[in-house]
Structure 1
Amino acid sequence: MSLYKRRMGAGSAVGLAAILVALMVFGVTALRAEANFTAAAPAPMSVSVLRADYDPDARIAEFFPGLITARRESALGFERAGRIDRINVDVGDRVQAGDLLARLDVRAVEAQIAAADAQTAEAAAQTALASETESRQSQLLERGHISQQRFDEVRTSTRAALARQNAAAAAADALRVQLDLSVITAPFDGVVTARRADEGAIASPGQPLLELVELDSLEVRVGLPQSVAAGYARDDIVAFQVDSQIAPVAARFRASSSVVDRQTRTVTAVFDLEAGQAVAAGQIVRLAVETPIIAEGFWVPTAALAEGRRGLWSIYVLTPEDDAYTLQPRVVETVRIEAERVFVRGAVDDGELLLASGLQRITPGQRVLPAVQESRAQ
């Protein structure tokens, strides 16, 4: 019996020793595994960040398109029909006010004027004869050689002859007016932008033949909200942006129509362009009008916005954790979207660090370190 107990005691000691060895081996293995895990943990990623900067005076630029036009544009044509005899200008020619641009064949009109002048001369001769006759009959009336009835008839004949002379002169003047209407002269200084017929063509009354544009006096017409147009005073200088130019062009406010268009709900504002600027009639320009944003928020670059569920947007906030930061998404509301930046508001405190870009390289909860800090979204 004692031998059995001794054997049992020896077996228990061996088993306990085995258990202790196993525990030691497991502990060493666990320590090695933990060490391997710690060594394999990724280092925090360097990211570009910016600080949330709430801007109570934030303003946005509203752009309103306008069209550069000449102050005066005329489609010139003849007021009477006829065959075009000569056109002195072509497209691109600069002309001065009063220059002869085109004329009709006026030979028939000149012949009619000659005939009318002859009729006027004939009527003048008859008037002179009637006047002399009236003078002699007046002397005979005083001597009693003719009756008053006879004298009245002579005086009436004189007046009729004078009326015929005036009518002939008026007819001649009317023909001279037709002669004047047979030419086109420049009503103002400008450049010819269109020529719609050539010599030999038959012109109809009022048919546009030439188009003349005044280039030295350009203006801009812009449709603006009534409240915006009311903020301009006469001769206020504003800057317009031209797509083909880097430098803006300057213009002076002249007036607004003060009548709201039923379709666009805007009024037409007219600005006079300063002379000597490299712009041309027909170009499109834009007027930038800054208006305040009635909302508390801050600007972020568009690259900082992540699209969430149900059309919501979020940004990533860097939350301090030990010696690094973790990324936490925060839902925000977009108030104003521009080409390179967005004005947002949401559960973000002023001054918190935000992820500025690189959304495709991160995941929520990832550990990061700020690498480059931008002052604010530009």
Structure 2
Amino acid sequence: MSETDNITGDAVREKRPGPAKGLIFLVLLLLTIGAMLFGATLLRSEEGPKVAVTAPEPLTVPVRPAQLTKAFTLQETYSGLAEARRTSELGFSTGGRIEDIAVDVGDQVKTGQTLARLDTRGLRAQLASAQAVVEEARSAHSLALNTVERQRRLSLQGHVSPQAVDEAEAQAETALARVEAAKAQADILRVQIDLARITAPFDGMVTARTSDEGAIAGAGQPLLQLVETGHLEARIGLPAATAARLQPGDVYDLRADTGTVEATLRSVTGVIDPNQRTVAAMFDITNSGAIASGAVVRLSMSRDIDEPGFWVPVKSLSTASRGLWTVYVAAPVDGGFEVEPRPVEMVHTDGERAFVRGPVSDGELIIIDGLQRIVPGMSVEPRDSQQAATVNGG
């Protein structure tokens, strides 16, 4: 064995732990475990581990006593629009250059008032020519009549044949026809000149103007919109059963944003709209100046519903299966109150409250708010919301 191998073996023997080091490590490990056990013993209570033996405080919930009724009266509201009875889009029957527009949007006009005119210089020149043709035809007719008289006298004297008389009379009739044709042509031009101006067909207000002076107006092109202001009517859609209760000729109150107006029922169509499933009722508004055309009007009518049940706030309902809903009742149990679910059916809702029916007795306490904090069987402390509101208000 070489000297190098001896040196390496001595180094390995020096790195191995001796019996003393192992004993020291074992003693330290036992001391650590003992310290941990002693600490755990000190942390323990002399009476053993503490366990909760008292129940938590009941949760305070707002409630309202159920008030059962055998029927209720439903106040229903139906909406419609107050519109002018007549609205016209006014334009020229023939095209031409616009010479004048005498009104603007918002102007009040009277029946027969001239609203706009076309340039009619060309038409008037044609009318003058047509009148000259009429005069020429009248002169020819007068000459033809004189010729007939002469031919008749000569025929009596035997100087001309009866055929010559017949020819003269035929020429007179032809001349008369030319007079009538010329007069008809002149009348056509007069009508065109008259149609070259727009007049108000009824009293109303100008609500639209689509062109100005100098523009070329096409035949039938709307230039002005006129809305009748003297008469307003309201068209309101109602269910067929409700519409059958209305009486034509009766006066009803319609509510608008500006107040209440009286309206007389003119007619009920009796035909159900396939889209809205309603029947149209037409009302004549008595005081048309009280509201503007296009305003929303509402008709309120009461209807008796013969269904037993009770009213609850919508927020006190939670969804259930098969189209039912659930209300929670604070039921008395062993001197306290616990949450009990009750399935109910919704009969009607008006937005903030609902009329429901189900296995709830009169006077039972309905939990009306905070459903997200409760579960069935939870202990609760009911607080009457109506009494609390009275105390706070007083």
TM-score (norm: length of structure 2): 0.75
Match runs of 1:200-211 below 5 Å: 200-211=214-225
Q: Is the 8 A contact 1:324 1:369 kept in 2?
A: no
CA distance in structure 2 between the partners assigned to 1:114 and 1:334 by the alignment:
82
Corresponding position of 2:72: 58
Corresponding position of 2:209: 195
Query: Among 237, 241, 247, which residue is 1:227 paired with?
Result: 241
Secondary structure of the structure 2 residue equivalent to 1:160: helix
Q: Deviations over 1:61-82 (max 9, x none)?
A: 4444322221000000000111
CA distance in structure 1 between the partners assigned to 2:289 and 2:337 by the alignment:
55
CA distance in structure 2 between the partners assigned to 1:62 and 1:373 by the alignment:
26
Q: Is the 8 A contact 1:96 1:190 kept in 2?
A: yes
Shift of 1:310: 8.2
Shift of 1:107: 0.3
Corresponding position of 2:280: 268
Query: Among 84, 93, 115, which residue is 2:98 paired with?
Result: 84
Shift of 1:323: 6.5
Corresponding position of 1:282: 294
Q: Is the 8 A contact 2:261 2:287 kept in 1?
A: no
Q: Deviations over 1:326-356 (max 9, x none)?
A: 5433222222222211111111123334334
2:175 is the alignment partner of 1:161: yes
CA distance in structure 1 between the partners assigned to 2:92 and 2:205 by the alignment:
19
List gaps (5 residues or longer) in structure 1: 1-28, 30-35
Shift of 1:131: 1.6
CA distance in structure 2 between the partners assigned to 1:301 and 1:179 by the alignment:
71
Corresponding position of 1:20: none
Shift of 1:302: 2.2
Corresponding position of 1:218: 232
Shift of 1:318: 4.1
Corresponding position of 2:14: none
Which one is further off, 288-297 or 199-208?
288-297
Corresponding position of 1:107: 121
Corresponding position of 1:18: none
Match runs of 1:287-302 below 5 Å: 287-293=299-305, 295-302=307-314
Shift of 1:141: 2.6
Shift of 1:133: 2.4
What is the one-letter code of the residue matched to 1:219?
E
Secondary structure of the structure 2 residue equivalent to 1:329: strand
Secondary structure of the structure 2 residue equivalent to 1:163: helix
Query: Among 347, 352, 355, which residue is 2:359 paired with?
Result: 347
CA distance in structure 2 between the partners assigned to 1:263 and 1:228 by the alignment:
18
Secondary structure of the structure 1 residue equivalent to 2:271: coil
Secondary structure of the structure 2 residue equivalent to 1:348: coil
Q: CA 1:123–1:41 in 2, change beyond 3 Å: closer, same or farther?
A: closer
Larger radius of gyration: 2
CA distance in structure 2 between the partners assigned to 1:313 and 1:97 by the alignment:
62
Secondary structure of the structure 2 residue equivalent to 1:257: strand
List gaps (5 residues or longer) in structure 2: 1-46, 48-52, 388-394
Shift of 1:149: 1.1
CA distance in structure 1 between the partners assigned to 2:225 and 2:266 by the alignment:
26
Shift of 1:126: 1.6
CA distance in structure 1 between the partners assigned to 2:70 and 2:263 by the alignment:
31
What is the one-letter code of the residue matched to 2:287?
A
CA distance in structure 2 between the partners assigned to 1:299 and 1:197 by the alignment:
60
Q: Is the 8 A contact 1:44 1:324 kept in 2?
A: no
What is the one-letter code of the residue matched to 2:340?
Q
CA distance in structure 2 between the partners assigned to 1:138 and 1:233 by the alignment:
78
RMSD, aligned α-carbons: 3.0
2:376 is the alignment partner of 1:366: no
CA distance in structure 1 between the partners assigned to 2:262 and 2:71 by the alignment:
27
Q: Is the 8 A contact 1:225 1:267 kept in 2?
A: yes
Q: Is the 8 A contact 1:48 1:373 kept in 2?
A: no
Matched pairs, number: 337
2:348 is the alignment partner of 1:336: yes
CA distance in structure 2 between the partners assigned to 1:44 and 1:119 by the alignment:
106
Q: Deviations over 1:85-122 (max 9, x none)?
A: 11111111111110100010000000111111111111
Which one is further off, 342-351 or 168-177?
342-351
Which one is further off, 321-330 or 278-287?
321-330
What is the one-letter code of the residue matched to 1:114?
A
Query: Among 300, 314, 321, which residue is 2:326 paired with?
Result: 314
CA distance in structure 2 between the partners assigned to 1:64 and 1:269 by the alignment:
11
Q: CA 1:282–1:312 in 2, change beyond 3 Å: closer, same or farther?
A: same
CA distance in structure 2 between the partners assigned to 1:263 and 1:338 by the alignment:
23
Which one is further off, 358-367 or 195-204?
358-367
Q: Is the 8 A contact 1:249 1:277 kept in 2?
A: no
Q: CA 1:277–1:94 in 2, change beyond 3 Å: closer, same or farther?
A: closer
Shift of 1:44: 8.6
